[in-house]
Each structure stands twice: as structure tokens, then as C-alpha cells.
Amino acid sequence: MAFRYKSDQQVIIQSQFMRMDARLQFIALAVMGFTDHVFGKDIVITEIYRSKADQVAYYPGQPYRPSVHEFGRGIDFGVRAYRADELDQWPHTMSTGCPALDEHEIKIIDNWFSDVVSYDDERPDMDSLVHHNVGLGDHLHLQVSWRKSTRLKSECNQAQLIMKRLGVTL
């Protein structure tokens, strides 16, 4: 089980990971563990910090809108298949590159974390984990609110959550 990194990004991303919001570190590690435990796959961190200049370049012709990435409250995970030469080899080598997450797996991760992690109690319609493509590639975006608390939630017991995750209904 491991985070994977794009080629020559490991040191940068690991440094950024240690500086980002502690709640986000905790939840990102949970995403990594969940992905390994449920699918037997590693997950690729593609971006954590983003400058204002990067944000403006990502959204040309649009009014500037600050991103959670500018404040260490957002992290992106690549979900596509990567060739082995696109990723740093640490912590282990994989002859086939990084296994991609398929649509079914993405939906399971997205639903699980939406059910368990509250982005912001004042905006319950917002999710901490979203699967999207805003024009820069398909990815999972994980974020925490600027408010100082993030709540783990459950409206059902663990057995019900597992059944939901597996698509089992009684």
C-alpha cells in the first residue's frame, strides 16, 4: 500500500503533504488505505499546492477564484492508467505501471467518503471527495473546509455501510 508519485515529483509532493492541513493528511491516508484494502491498488497523488498564478492559468478567461489547493486544503489523485515510466518507482517497482481505477471503483470510493466525511456542517450538500474533470484530466479531488473542524459521520451502522459499499440490499 502506498501513495505513488509522477516522475520526479516524490520529494516535492511528500514535502507538500507534510505542510498541508492535518485533517486532509488524515483523510488522504484513509483514501490510500481504502483503495489498497478494497481494490488492492496504489493511488497517485498528482497535485497538492497550487499558486494563484497556476489557478489563473488553469482557468484562463475566467474571473479569479481562490482554490483550496492554494491553502493546503486540497489534494488530487490521478485515476487513469499510468505507464511505469510516468511514475517514480519508489516504494516498489511495478512492471505494469500504476493500476487505474475504473468507473465502478471510483463510484465506490466517492460514495464511501461522501457517506463518512462531512466537508462542512454548514454546507451539507458539499462533499469532501469528488470525482471530476475540470478540463485538466479525470481525477479524484479531496478537500477540507476552511472551518477548523471536519466531522466523520454515519447515519447507519457499519454493516449497513459495508452493504451499501458492496451494492447489497435487503
Please state the rounded mean pLDDT for residues 14-40: 93
Full residue range of the structural domain in which residue 112 is found: 3-166
> Using 50, 70 and 90 to split pLDDT, how confident is the model at 73?
very high
b/e for 10-48, b at 16 or more Cβ within 10 A? Answer: beebeebbeebbebbbebbebbbebbeeebebbbbbbbb
pTM of the predicted model over 0.85: no
List 50's β-bridge partners, or say none.
none
> Using 50, 70 and 90 to split pLDDT, how confident is the model at 48?
very high
Q: What would the pLDDT profile of 55-69 be if each residue is shown by its tens digit? A: 999 888 889 999 999
Q: Please report, for the domain that includes residue 109, its CATH number.
A: 3.30.1380
**Predicted pLDDT at 51:** 93
**Predicted pLDDT at 157:** 63
Asked if 21 contacts 144 with a C-beta cutoff of 8 angstroms, the reply is yes
Query: What is the tally of structural domains in the chain?
Result: 1
